[in-house]
Structure 1
């Protein structure tokens, strides 16, 4: 059943890409009178940004320093709010004027920062959508990756391919709590085994989002500092790619990766883009990952998290069944 579902969604995804029909489920409205921006995502929740908040450094994290430990955290001079807004912006089509308008309005980075778009081959349809901001002065590249766009079927296919086994074991652990006592390596081995069955029956797919991302990151040979960030699927991809390339990552509402890690390494080996010696090194595990996990977020409950995890509240719990707590706009983080 799973294989047939994947085949059906993959076919629809190919047709969608062929016809270049990719409706966005995110939009923003600008009120020039009050100088406010309202970002609406999937018709569920929205985020209101006033003029005083348009410069990320003006988000007064000092006022809420005691709210969460992560609020005073900075990575290469950027706050956690900066990374949240960069992850939010990744949902917009980087080839549209709206993307550049919103980017210019929200971010007043120093002059040494510039928007750098990846090569066409790394952001074509059916692959992960992302953009890069680069500072030559700091030799820093920040790569923001889009999460699941409900209007892009290839994103849904990637979710299913990447996390299906982890989701099954997560549900089973709720029904049979003793599964939680298993060592992580046991669950990870079983996930890898079930995934290998797809290759036995020739039901595998060689196209994975994180391959194009790692290819792009590895091409930045002259860039010393690289940080990856994203929300939901984008956060998961940021954590995976960051671990594979040994760079830090900041995820928001991303699924866990502990149990699915052996599967990722096996996929890298099969695509011949994986160094066996490097893969056996424990440093490849995503220890440098940071994941912001809101309460009542079902997506963040999938798998077990690696690295540092900051749990935060969700101010839209009354809409939890509508996935509001998973939306980047809903949880309150250092605002």
Structure 2
């Protein structure tokens, strides 16, 4: 059982899965499926109360997994006794790849620039979102008019796949860090739910993706489709504001690993298990360590 205090998100579920399930799936998304990594076997260990199978993987630069998850234990109210959902899990930033770093810069250039601008002109902080949307959208309309727009985002393959799935099938997107941000974008553009783990915000940057994809209307698509788990002192979450349902949790070891200590997904998983427990009763404990300059390790039992 979890330690007190419990968070508001504890006990909540989306499509038969809990927050710690999405965090565990997001961790698996970093792996490349090979006979050696045995991702299907790993999924069975991470989600022992479900029948989780690997249905598809991405073919582009951005790694992502499509899982078919069937959960029967917590779905007695569902006709037929079981709940089925497709989970699209998107990998986060690989700091060794220049493409990933550049994608982060491309996706959050405008919110960061506006934050810098607000240092000189504090009035910028008081702008209504409609004002920032007009500025960001106008910039990208000019760029498109000048034929300088490069809108082939790394999430395009994922968006195309999600739009192929019949509307009567349950789909939820997830991911950690940049992967969580991509999940939020694709979820809002496709009208599907997204559960993002420690993502950058999307409140202002969303206007850019609306402009590129011809989506119109207010930011309600983001508010209605997204759930974000944010860790206190995690600098990545400070890029832009967050929309939708946001749960903030504390960081156990803010001093570990300097600035990245609170961004480690392993630490977030252990924190969730300690404070929410495991609703499915499969994991009794979780330990996580960040030895300085020696990598990091996680152990769950």
Normalising by structure 1, report the TM-score: 0.71
Name the residue aligned to 1:93.
32
Gap runs ≥5 in structure 1: 1-59, 270-275
Indicate yes or no: 2:12 matched with 1:77: no
The offset of 1:282, in angstroms, is: 6.0
SS of equivalent residue, structure 1 residue 230: strand
- Contact 1:140-1:223 within 8 A present in 2 as well: no
Residue 220 of structure 1 is aligned with which of 165, 175, 183?
165
Q: Distance in 1 between matches of 2:254 and 2:100?
A: 26
* Residue pair 1:231, 1:328 contacting (<8 A) in 2 also: yes
| 1:320 CA drift (Å) | 6.3
Tell me: CA distance 1:180–1:216, structure 2 relative to 1, closer, same or farther (3 Å). Answer: same
Task: Return the match for 1:330 from 263, 267, 271.
Answer: 267
State the 1:204 CA deviation: 2.5
Describe the shift of the 1:165–1:282 C-alpha distance in structure 2 as closer, same or farther (beyond 3 A): closer
CA RMSD of the aligned region, Å? 2.3
Q: Structure 2 vs 1, CA of residues 166 and 320 (structure 1 numbering), >3 Å: closer, same or farther?
A: farther
By percentage of residues, which structure has more helix?
Answer: 1
1:125 aligned partner = 60
Q: Which runs of 5+ in 2 are unaligned?
A: 71-81, 275-301
Measured in 1, the distance between the counterparts of 2:168 and 2:38 equals 25
Matches within 5 A, 1:57-72: 60=1, 63-64=2-3, 66-72=5-11
TM-score by length of 2: 0.78
The one-character-per-residue Cα deviations of 1:250-269 (angstroms, maximum 9, x if unpaired) are 11111111111221011113
* Residues 140 and 211, structure 2, Cα contact 8 Å, conserved in 1: no
Q: Tell me the matched-pair count.
A: 260
C-alpha distance in 2, partners of 1:287/1:143?
18
Match of 1:319 among 250, 256, 259: 256
Post-superposition shift, 1:66?
4.0
1:134 matches 2:74:
no
Aligned partners of 1:164, 1:172: CA distance in 2, in Å? 12
The CA deviation at 1:104 is 3.5
SS of 1:280 mapped into structure 2? coil
